[in-house]
Every structure is written in structure tokens, then in C-alpha cells.
Structure 1
Amino acid sequence: MRILCVVPARGGSKGVPRKNVRVVAGRPLIAWTVEQALAARPAMDVVVSTDDDEIAEAARAAGALVPFRRPAELARDETPTEPVVRHAIEQARAADAAPDAVMLLQATSPIRLPGTVSRALARFAATGVDSLVGVVPQAPFLWTDGDEPSAAYDVTARPRRQDLTPQTLRYRETGSLYLTRTWVYDELDNRIGGRVGLFVMDEIEGVDIDTALDLAVAEQTLATLTSTGTTP
């Protein structure tokens, strides 16, 4: 199975300006994700989709392919991710490298433990699902606000955290990792479709950098992991 790994990284980030090339724990942010993808087995075609020269240079320096430049109309603030991935698929097909599946890795979720990406590839192959969604577990103590707030759990039988099971936990999409058969993008225009599987990641891998605080947390975590030899 040929897998295209797409790392979207546009230049116009707003919450943390230029975050994709910010040095985080000694490396440009995008380098963490590229190196994790390149270390995975089986090997993938690791491509960075960007509209930005500096990001392209940092991605190439980390070992990624940057075989095309993302069009400006796909690099706006309101641009969803799916058309960016479809563009990368079209470029791969034009280069006679049509993928059977696409792994979408978000550069702004740089914390992935050694073996995580390989484990996702193995689970995808073993289960035969059409899309695999990276998630982290969390307690079910969630509420929906409104005129009559409602809880996502039975408030009359509140469980203790230590008694929670995989079935009673809830799972939050990290945004970090998706693995999807190409036909899902072609037919459903979505990264999630067909038979869906959850890929449970470690809680530490759930950081998504949208703010300066997120960036500080990611930097501290990556620095700690590096000091203990547990990266990329």
C-alpha cells in the first residue's frame, strides 16, 4: 500500500505568528512532525504542502519533499484542510505516485512519542478501516450549555476517575493524526468516512498549538522528552 503523508503548513498563522518555523526545543516546529513521519515504518511519501518559502526551506532541511507550492486560494484563513489534501493527492497522481491512503499529520501537534506513527500504520493495515482518527482519552464530565444545561454522563451516578473504563471514557480528536483511504477524499470530500477506527494516543500527545501558552507547553514537553531520549 502506498501512503502519502501530507503535512499542511501555511505561512499566515494568526494565533502564534510564523509558528510553523518557530524554533521549539531546538528545532523549527515543522521539523518535529517531518522527522516523526520519516522515522515511521513502512516508509511513506512525506510531503509538506505550503505557500511559504521559509516553511518550504525548513521542511526540506528536515527531509520532507516539497514538490509543489500550495495555491494562494488554498492558503486562506478560512480554507478547510480537505481541499489542501485533495490538491496534494492530485499532485501525487500527476507525478505517477498515486496513493492508496493519506496520512494527515498536523505540524502544530508536534508531540508524538517514538513509534506512534508506525503504530498507527500497523493498526490501519490490521483493522482494514477506511479512516483512522487520532484521539486522546478524557473523563466524561462534559456539559452542553443552554437554557437547560445537560451533562454527557449520569449525574446521579457520577463515576470515580479510577473506575472509568475504555467504554465509559470519552475520546477527543487531537487533530494530530488521521489516516484515510484515498477514495474517502474522492467520494466524500472528508478525512473521516467509511468504516472509522479510533487510534488512541497518549495524553501527552494531545497538545495542539493555537496560543502562546500551547507553544510553551509543547516546548517544555519536547525538551523533557529530548533529555530522556524519547524523541522524535
Structure 2
Amino acid sequence: MILGHIGARKGSKGVPGKNFRPLCGKPLIDWSLDQLFANPRVGAVVVSTDDEAIYEHAIAKGALKIGLRPAHLATDSAGKWGVWQHALAASEGLIGPVTAFLDLDCTSPLRLPEDIDAALELYKIEHPDMVMSCCEARKNPYFNLVEPDATGSLHVSKPLPGGVVARQQAPIVYEHAASTYVVDPAYLKRSKGLWEGRVIPYLMPPERCVDIDTPFDFRLVEFLMQEALTHD
């Protein structure tokens, strides 16, 4: 069974209440939650949250009743990995073992249903520890990302012998797009973080990888979604 998961913490410094804030006619979380419920490959859905309103909303739509997440997983410093581990353990206590843990980040609502299917298919074919959504980076540390040295002078972040004078010469670099993840449950249970195993990219176009972290991001995503809905 594939377990679909969404993490939705109550607090947000960038956009207060963003996970439940209305976006194009429904709460932000529902753009991802509805995708999980609509996918026939997903056998159960769970929402990890410290927000009573979000929890009751998810339960009413059919999510598993695992209760609110523990306080230590509801802080600004709580990492995604611990939240995933708790949600997996609580869910398996209700439904038994799962074959894949599918996480959708509710702050990235521009993904399409076919992105979920493609990520799941990649996981099925490649058998990695994790499939992680990525897009090609707009800036490249071998070419046009710079950092200051002790004197304040700028240098390319990752210099190569001879230098790189054109972006096309630089090694390919991906952005970790917080959108769609497929994780091997055994890997999630035994590891302490994302990068300990074989993590492979599922490449998405950058226009579907916008993550809402600021009021500007929210306005941008709202504009893009309204444009997409107009053209449908």
C-alpha cells in the first residue's frame, strides 16, 4: 500500500496561517490533499499537523486519525525527517505495513497529477531509497553563484581548474524542489536524514516548483494558478 502524506505545521513566520489560507477557491492544503485522494495508487492518506482545524478538516476528507503531531515536531527547528518518521509509525499502527511513503509539500501546489504518477513510476523502476523532486537550478555554483572571502572579495562558490566562462560549460546542478517525494519506508525507519542513502531526482519544470515561503510567493502562485485555471 502506498501511504500519501502531507505535513502542515500551524506556525509560519513568512506567511502566517498559509497552509489553511484560501487559494483560488479552497485552502492551500487542499490543492495537494485532493491530489492524494484522487490518485488510485494511493491506498491511505495522512496529514501531520499541530493545527486542530487542519487536522479536523483532513479527517473529514478521509485522512487517517493519528492525532496531532507531538510538540517537539511542531517547532520552527523540527525537520521534515522526524515528522515523516512519526507519521509513518502512527499510520502503520492503523493500516499495517506500507510499500511507499509519498509526501506532497502543501506549499508547492503547482505540481500536476502526472508529476505524482511519474515520481511513483520512477520509484517502482529504479528502487532507490528516495525519489526527490528537483528542477534545473537557475544559478550555478560553478559559474554565477559567488561568495565572499575573509576580505570581502567575491569568488565563484565552486571554482574549477581553468574557470568556467559560459553556463553551458558548468556541471549540471539541480535545485531541491520541495514538492514531491517517494520514500522507501525501510529507509525512512533506519536513517537519520534525507541524504544517507540513494536519493535520485524526479525532474520537474521550474514553473511547477515554486514553493510558498513569502507573501510574494503566495501572490505569484495565485497568479499562476488563476492563469492555468483560466486556460483549462
- TM-score where L is the length of structure 2: 0.86
Return the match for 2:179 from 176, 182, 202. Answer: 176
Check the 8 A contact 1:24/1:219 in 2, yes or no: yes
Aligned to 1:72: 71
Cα 1:16–1:158 shift into 2, 3 Å: same
Work out the CA distance in 1 between the residues paired with 2:3 and 2:127: 17
CA shift in 2, pair 1:95/1:123, >3 Å = same
Q: CA deviation at 1:157?
A: 4.2
Q: Which residue, out of 142, 149, 153, partners 2:155?
A: 149
Equivalent residues in 2 for 1:28-47, closer than 5 Å = 28-47=27-46
Residue 213 (structure 1) aligns with = 216
Aligned residue for 1:115, secondary structure, equals helix
Residue of structure 2 aligned with 1:185, choices 185, 188, 203: 188
Q: CA deviation at 1:222?
A: 1.3
2:46, 2:174 → 1: CA distance? 28
- Using the alignment, how far apart are the partners of 1:90 and 1:144 within structure 2? 42
C-alpha displacement of 1:66: 4.5
Task: Judge conservation of contact 1:143–1:151 (CA < 8 Å) in 2.
Answer: yes
Query: In structure 2, do the counterparts of structure 1 residues 191 and 178 end up closer, same or farther at CA, with 3 Å as the change threshold?
Result: farther
Mapped partners of 1:191, 1:99: distance in 2: 19
Matched, 1:159 2:166: yes
Q: Which residue of 1 aligns with 2:129?
A: 130
Q: Would you say how many aligned residue pairs link Structure 1 and Structure 2? A: 224
- 190, 201, 216: which one pairs with 1:198? 201
For residues 151 and 191 of structure 1, what CA distance do their matches in structure 2 show?
Answer: 23
Aligned 8 A contact 1:142 1:153 in 2: no
Inter-partner Cα distance in structure 2 for 1:105 and 1:191: 15
- 2-structure distance, mates of 1:118, 1:80: 26
2:230 aligned with 1:227:
yes
Hey, what does 1:95 align to over in structure 2?
94
Return the offset for 1:56: 1.9
**SS at the partner of 1:46?**
strand
Q: Does the 8 Å CA contact 1:11/1:20 hold for their aligned counterparts? A: yes
Q: Which runs of 5+ in 1 are unaligned?
A: none
Instruction: Give the residue type in structure 1 aligned to 2:16.
Output: P
Residue 84 of structure 1 deviates from its aligned partner by 1.1
Matched, 1:118 2:117: yes
Give the root-mean-square deviation of aligned CA atoms.
2.2
| Alpha-carbon offset, residue 6 of structure 1 | 1.5
Shift of 1:120: 0.5
Deviation at residue 21 of structure 1 after TM alignment: 0.7
